[in-house]
Amino acid sequence: MVNKRKEIIFKVVVSDPKTGKSIQVQTKDESLIGKKIGDIIDGSIVNLDGYKLKITGGSGFEGAPMVSYVEGMNKKYVWWYDKSKKVRVKKLVRGNTISPEIVQINTKIEEYGNKDFNQLYEEFKSQKSQ
């Protein structure tokens, strides 16, 4: 399989379940490849020392979402039931394992570090606005 991306850059979205706030951090750390949905990763990968993050999902470069019930790094068509139209539709999804073709990784905080997340949120917000 040919990798369509020149450089591996993951956009990691870190969500705080307590406040509902989230930040998006870019990382080039290739240690994320091979991790699955539900795995706990160290927050130091995205400069959140002391934090533990749980992988909840992600999406590939073509926009297909990662789902927990498809094993591996492959893409697959699955049948989904569209409740609004009351029909079954085929949808392209990605497996539950992070591959080099994944662009966005969604995480939520499982264990907090020494620094308060609201303080980190304000720092990232101010950096983004500049």
Mean pLDDT for the chain? Answer: 90
Compute the average pLDDT of residues 121-128.
Answer: 82
CA–CA separation, 30 vs 91, rounded Å? 28
Does 95 score more than 90 pLDDT?
A: yes
Q: How far is CA 50 from CA 4, 19, 38, 112, in A?
A: 34, 19, 19, 7
Q: Which pLDDT belongs to residue 8?
A: 86
pLDDT bracket for residue 5 (50, 70, 90): low
Q: Which pLDDT belongs to residue 82?
A: 86
Does 6 score more than 90 pLDDT?
A: no
Compute the average pLDDT of residues 28-47.
Answer: 92
Percent of the chain predicted with pLDDT > 70: 94
> Which residue type is seen at 96?
N
